[in-house]
């Protein structure tokens, strides 16, 4: 399932509908932020990294600037498109973007069950952070 990565700071009405569906399906352990929290995230300078398929958002990762680099959090994929490589593709594109822009990526307090996947994708652990492109 080919996914396009998009950085969103002003979601359209259709985007909000897609984000709401992702939130409803994954609120327990994925996209925990509802629309009000997402609006606050965007107003505070954060952005949404969206994975699109057929012009619909099927995956999302919240991003914001931090002292360590670009902080990635709340990764989630629509239930109907899970296990099709959506998050894998999104991370691949985000890592390519970070490398081309000279940015560091960091993930704070990653769940233990995702540690092997992050190691496989070139992240390394330093204390409570998972870092990518840390030599920059």
pTM higher than the cut 0.85: yes
Q: What is the CATH number of the domain that holds 37?
A: 3.40.630.30
Residue 117 counted as domain residue: no
Residue 63 counted as domain residue: yes
Structure confidence at residue 118 as a pLDDT band (50, 70, 90): confident
By percentage, how much of the chain surpasses pLDDT 90? 41
Residue 120 counted as domain residue: no
Is residue 130 predicted with pLDDT exceeding 70?
Answer: yes
Q: What's the domain range around 80?
A: 4-104
Spatial contact of 1 and 86, defined as CB atoms under 8 Å apart: yes
How many domains in the chain?
Answer: 1
The per-residue pLDDT for range 9-50, each reduced to its tens digit, is 999 999 999 999 999 999 888 889 999 999 999 999 999 999
Q: What angle, 0 to 180 degrees and rounded to 10, lies between the N-to-C axes of helices 35-43 and 13-26?
A: 120
What pLDDT score was predicted for residue 136? 46
Residue 43 counted as domain residue: yes
Maximum Cα–Cα distance across the chain: 40
């Amino acid at each position: 399932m080919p996914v396009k990565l998009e950085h969103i700071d002003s979601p359209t009405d259709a985007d909000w509908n897609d984000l709401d569906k992702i939130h409803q399906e994954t609120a327990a352990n994925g996209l925990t932020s509802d629309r009000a929290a997402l609006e606050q995230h965007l107003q505070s300078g954060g952005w949404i990294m969206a994975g699109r398929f057929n012009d619909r958002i099927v995956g999302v990762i919240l991003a914001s600037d931090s002292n360590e680099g670009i902080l990635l959090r709340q990764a989630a994929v629509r239930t109907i498109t899970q296990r099709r490589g959506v998050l894998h593709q999104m991370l691949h594109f985000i890592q390519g973007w970070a490398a081309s822009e000279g940015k560091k990526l960091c993930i704070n307090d990653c769940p233990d069950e995702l540690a092997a996947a992050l190691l496989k994708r070139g992240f390394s652990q330093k204390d409570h952070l998972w870092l990518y492109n840390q030599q920059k």
